[in-house]
Copies of this chain bind each other. A is one copy, B any other.
Amino acid sequence: MLEQTEFIRNAWYVAAWDHELQAGKPLARTLLGEHVVLYRDSAGKPVALEDRCCHRAAPLSLGRVEGDCIRCMYHGLKFDANGRCVEIPAQAHVPPQAVVRAFEVCEQDHFVWIWMGEREGAHASRPPAIPWQSDAGWRWKPGYMHYRANIQLITDNLLDLSHLSYVHLATLGTPQTAQTQPEYREIEGGVEITRWDIGSAPTPLHAKAGMRGMVDRWLVFRWYPPGTFLLDAGSCPTGTGAPQGVRQDGIQFRNTSIQTPETAHTTHYFWTHARDFRLDDAALTDEIQAQMAAAFEEDRVVIEAQQEVLRTRAPGPIVGIAADAGPRMARRLIELRLAQDSAAEFA
């Protein structure tokens, strides 16, 4: 099975960028196949409810935010931030079964995060920290892509860098990329993939950022289930000790790439590409954003085509290759988390 047919539920997922959730404007979003309405309460704190009124199934996202509550604008039922119906027009008694499901949400590093499993589980963990998104020493812009593909196909893509030689030949990769082996290692709750390119020419993006002459370039990917990739990338003049940690003459970037399943065959993809130099150079910010968007678009084309093959054609063999090492490590972690979900459900 190349696709995830079941999603990890007891985990924090990105539901939206913070700027997408504006005061007084309900936001409808499908997450893990569930339809959710998000809004901000009177204190600006995000709230997430099932997007279906318990009276006649009208979507609450067509409703009206009233203080900490949202009112269904079909027949007027009002729900609080816990999903409890607190008012039915012209009716004294509100029956206790008049409720909609509520989800735990929090805001961190400019993301609105949601916990799709049992609410109490949310209190024992925090979303992964993405320091460069809340540190004024880094410059970035919010990115978003909508994918017509199962999340696993995107996970597989990000965990096997050999595709840079084929998919990104015109942008991020070189023909040599697929010929060299990255280093894989299990880390606390995730996988780390490290790649060093010693004594090579700077990439176009690094050259644009000021690197001249030969460089030592690094890519350190960390992936955490269900769908968080955090990348440390940069280059220094070759031989100046970058592999040993001496990096003051170089440049560095941080990339965030987070996937949240929308449905079994579509995925939300939130991303940023941050830098800690030339912070006030807005043109550079725009150019980095455009270059990364173009490269991500190359991935989207091939992954959506792959999804279409899986969706429309007779099942066929899936032959493994050596470069699958990263995706295989990720799959084991996903299986573990699914087993934990299952155990929690029957605990």
Q: Is the CB of B62 within 8 A of A181?
A: no
Alpha-carbon distance between A306 and B76 when the two chains are bound, in angstroms: 14
CB closest residue in chain B, given A62: B305
A178 CB within 8 Å of chain B: yes
19 contacts across the A-B interface (CB closer than 8 A) = A35-B312, A35-B313, A52-B309, A54-B316, A54-B317, A57-B306, A57-B309, A57-B310, A62-B305, A73-B166, A75-B323, A76-B178, A88-B322, A89-B165, A90-B180, A90-B181, A90-B323, A91-B321, A97-B319
| Known contacts A75-B178, A166-B76, A178-B76; A57/B318 CB under 8 A | yes
Q: Is the CB of B178 within 8 A of A95?
A: no
Please encode chain A, from 23 to 41, with 1 for each CB lying within 8 Å of some chain B CB and 0 for all others: 0000000000011000000
Which chain B positions have C-beta within 8 A of A179? Answer: 89-90
Which chain B positions have C-beta within 8 A of A76? Answer: 162, 165-166, 178
What is the CB-to-nearest-CB distance from A327 to chain B, in angstroms, rounded to a whole number?
A: 9
Residue in B54, B62, B309 whose beta carbon sits within 8 Å of that of A59 in the complex: B309
Q: Is the CB of A322 within 8 A of B57?
A: no
Tell me the number of copies of this protein: 3
Alpha-carbon distance between A199 and B301 when the two chains are bound, in angstroms: 62
Residue in B55, B71, B90, B166 whose beta carbon sits within 8 Å of that of A319 in the complex: B55
A192 CB within 8 Å of chain B: no
CB closest residue in chain B, given A92: B322
A284 CB within 8 Å of chain B: no
Additional A-B contacts beyond A77-B321, A89-B179 (19; CB < 8 A) = A2-B56, A54-B317, A54-B318, A54-B319, A55-B319, A57-B318, A58-B309, A59-B305, A62-B305, A73-B302, A75-B321, A76-B162, A85-B319, A88-B322, A89-B165, A89-B178, A90-B322, A91-B322, A97-B319
Which chain B positions have C-beta within 8 A of A51? Answer: 309
Which chain B positions have C-beta within 8 A of A85? Answer: 319
